[in-house]
Amino acid sequence: MGRYIGKRILTGALTVLAAIVLSFLLIHLAPGDPASILSGMDSPSPEMEEALRVKYGLDQPLLSQLWTYLKNLAQGDLGESISNSRPVAELIAERLGPTLLLSLTTAVLSLLLGTALGIYCARRAGSKLDAAMNGVSYLFDSMPGFWLGMMLILIFASSLKILPTAGMVDLRGGYTGFAHYMDVLKHLVLPGLTLTLISTPYFFRIARSSVIQVMSEDFITTLRATGMSESRIFNKYVFKNAILPTVTVFGITLAYIFTGVAVIEIVFSWPGMGSFMLKAIGNRDYPLLMGIYLILSISVAVCMIVVDVIYAFIDPRIRYS
Amino acid sequence: MKRALSAINGNIQLKIGTILIALLVLVALLAPLLATHDPYVLGDELTAPPGAKHLLGTDGLGRDVYSMLVYGARTSLLIGIVAAVISGVIGTLLGGIAGFYRGSVDRTLTEVNNIFLIMPTFFLILLVVAMFGSSMLNVMLIIGLTSWVGNARLMRAQAMSLRERTFVLGAVAIGESKRQILFKHIIPNGIFPIIANTTMNISGAILTEASLSFLGLGDPNVISWGQIVFNGRSYLTSGWWISTFSGLTIVVTVLAFYMIGDGLNRVLSPKLRNNN
């Protein structure tokens, strides 16, 4: 088990490293020289150029520049945002909370909902309900998250006026304590619903196909031949085996959800990293964009490692190896 | 050809999907004939609701929504197919090499595969497009360069099982070079799941391009459905038809490609066929 966990941590670390190297390469490969990219000005003043040169070592060979970049990162220095003139790390820290709230809530909800529905339909495979659910799952899978979000706003917020249109809190409310939590919750419904609806189909399909697969295995037929009841077969044998692929896939789906959350945040003006990203794109604020990319990569890698460790404990084949 | 037609007929998903895509291709090819107005011309009636003159209404600058959707089909189809083909080629090559050669090559490529699986590639695409410009070519290339992971996995599994088959061992015995075997035997025989997966990748590419356009990073010179949804955002309550219909076309197109891909999977894979 130790070896398995060690390998997963290595992959996670390599992913973060790859993201860092890619960011670094992009600064140097993109049109325009690194100084103008990092400072945001087309022709930076000599003082600015000197400051950048000292900080990033721009006149040195590429590899030592990479080393300097890594050293800066290790100290938590992600550069300075051009449009906000504040350290990128500070800006991201302020916005990480809302993003994590939205994405992790959605991830867990879609995992539970998708798996439950998948199992339910798998046990009734071939029925009309199953076919209908399959169709619905394909439908939601085909929807762009931003479009679904806008449609939900149109229906629930604009027309029916039962839910807020945007933001995380009611700016005029000034709520504290419990009321504050309820306010955030009310604002979380639409963006969370949107993201959940587009992420659930994936879990649904995995759970369904995995249950169908396990139920068709020989040992299940043997158990049936011994006279064991269907429900006992399912609860004791099928469920545990079928649930494993879902856990494996959870980590990968998290990457997918972190991708979707940025666009959803923009649609709902949710004060997370996604909406920040839009402004950064508009301002060509590359240090901020790269910082967001890095932090998200690290978040996904960390979540994946956690999920893989959980998986190592659940799967007896790994636990006892 | 007859077998293909009967296969399509036998599977409801393939049938619906193929019909939809055929319609879409027709729309893209016959766009100048099908559009009622010139989609680039700014008209007089701003944000007009759907009516007799403008089938699906106009947007905030007076452009006819229906005509824009018709011309947008070209962009989405082109980007989707080219990006998916690029990712298919890269994935097939990398997966085939990994699965056939095994050893350290396999280990390295699998690790690269895992890295790209975890990495939030959408942001990488964002960064690249923001830095290198948002031309259609850039978008196609970068989407293709980041979505090869699924294809590589499939090809690798195929290669690993095919390399043990008698006809491959026979080729080795005759003395064919490894490269010849890879390209003459392994890849042509293992390509089928990749084709189904590539069809689904077309859906993914169209969605990614729509998201990029929605963020204002699409090619500004061509009409794209995501761009129309983006433009409609400011008019969500006053001109709901702009974003709604453009989004619906995206949904239908993506769904159609999914159905073809899923149908192909079922037809080509006996295991799935039993669950039908």
Cα distance between residue B188 and residue A135, in whole Å: 32
Using the beta-carbon criterion (under 8 Å), do A150 and B115 form an inter-chain contact? Answer: no
In the A/B pair of chains, how many CB contacts fall below 8 A?
A: 137
Residue with tokens 């949710």: A270
Chain A partners within 8 Å of B134 (Cβ): none
Distance (Å) from the alpha carbon of B265 to chain A's nearest alpha carbon: 14
pLDDT of residue B90: 94
Give yes or no for a contact between A172 and A82, defined as CB atoms under 8 angstroms apart: no
The alpha carbon of residue B211 is apart from the nearest alpha carbon of chain A, in Å, by 7
In degrees rounded to 5, what are phi and psi of residue A87? -60, 140
* Cross-chain residue pair A281–B216, CB shorter than 8 Å: yes
| Interatomic CA distance for residues A222 and A298, integer angstroms | 46
On chain A, the residues whose CB falls within 8 A of the CB of B121 are 259
Mutate to test the interface with B, among A103, A150, A205, A248 (most CBs of B within 10 A): A150
Measure the CA–CA gap between A171 and B9, rounded to whole angstroms. Answer: 57
Residues of A in contact with B254 (CB under 8 A): 141-143
- Chain A: residue whose CA lies nearest to B232: A150
Q: Check residue A257 and give its pLDDT.
A: 85
Q: What are phi and psi of B16, to 5 degrees?
A: -65, -45
In angstroms, the Cα distances linking B167 to B99, B154, B160, B162, B183 are: 17, 21, 14, 9, 14
Per the CB < 8 A criterion, the answer to whether B23 and B30 are in contact is no
Distance (Å, rounded) from C-alpha B208 to C-alpha B134? 13
- Residue B248, judged by CB atoms within 10 A of its CB (0-12, 13-18, 19+), counts as middle
A139–B255 C-beta distance less than 8 A: yes
Query: How many Cβ atoms sit within 10 Å of the Cβ of residue B33?
Result: 8
CA-nearest residue to B123 within chain A is A293
* pLDDT per residue as tens, chain B (276 positions): 776 677 666 777 788 888 888 888 888 888 888 888 888 888 777 888 888 778 888 888 888 888 889 889 999 899 999 999 999 999 999 999 998 888 899 989 988 888 888 888 888 888 888 888 888 898 999 999 999 998 999 999 988 888 888 888 888 888 888 888 888 888 888 888 888 899 989 999 999 999 999 888 888 888 889 989 988 888 888 888 888 999 999 999 999 998 888 888 877 776 544 444
Dump pLDDT digits (tens) for A183-233: 888 888 888 999 999 999 989 988 998 888 888 888 888 988 998 888 888
Residue among A141, A300, A304 minimizing CB distance to B258: A141
Q: Which of B124, B131, B207 sits opposite A144 (nearest CB)?
A: B207
- pLDDT score recorded for residue B180: 84
Report the gap between the CA of B183 and the closest CA in chain A (Å). 30
Residue A147 to chain B, least CA–CA distance (Å): 6
Q: Say if the Cβ atoms of B126 and A281 lie within 8 Å.
A: yes
Picking from A16, A35, A28, A89, the residue whose alpha carbon sits closest to that of residue A61 is: A28
Q: Which residues in chain A are closer than 8 Å to B275, comparing Cβ atoms?
A: 125-126, 212
3-state secondary structure of B64: strand
Note the pTM of the prediction, 2 decimals: 0.86
Cα–Cα distance between A72 and A80 in angstroms, integer?
Answer: 12
pLDDT beneath 50, residues of chain A: none
Across the interface, whether the CB atoms of A263 and B215 are under 8 A apart is answered yes
Give the closest of B114, B127, B226 to A26, CB-based.
Answer: B127
**Could you write out the DSSP letters of every residue in A144-192?**
-HHHHHHHHIIIIIIIS--S-SS-SS-TTT---HHHHHHHHHHHHHHHH
Chain A hits for B258, Cβ within 8 Å: 138, 141-142
DSSP secondary structure letter of residue A235: I
> Per CB distance under 8 Å, which residues of B are interface residues toward A?
111, 114-115, 117-124, 126-128, 130-133, 203, 207, 210-211, 214-217, 226, 229, 233, 236-237, 240, 243-244, 247, 250-252, 254-255, 258-259, 262, 275-276
Helix (H) or strand (E) holding A53: helix A46-56
| φ, ψ (nearest 5 deg) of residue B217 | -105, 10
| Residues B145, B125: Cα–Cα separation, whole Å | 9
Query: Which of A7, A25, A142, A277 is the best substitution to test chain B (most B C-beta atoms within 10 A)?
Result: A142
- To the nearest whole Å, the CA of B215 is away from the closest chain A CA by 7
For residue A263, the chain B residues in CB contact (below 8 A) are 211, 214-215
**Model pLDDT, residue A300:** 84
Interface contact flag, B259 A297, Cβ < 8 Å: no
Q: Looking at the partner chain, which of A18, A144, A293 has a beta carbon nearest the beta carbon of B247? A: A144
Residue B49 DSSP code: P
**pLDDT value of position B273:** 45
CA–CA min distance A120, chain B (Å)? 16
| Single-letter amino acid, residue A241 | N
Q: Please report the pLDDT score of residue B272 as a whole number.
A: 47
- Collect all residues of chain A within an 8 Å Cβ-Cβ radius of residue B120: 255, 258-259, 293, 296-297, 300
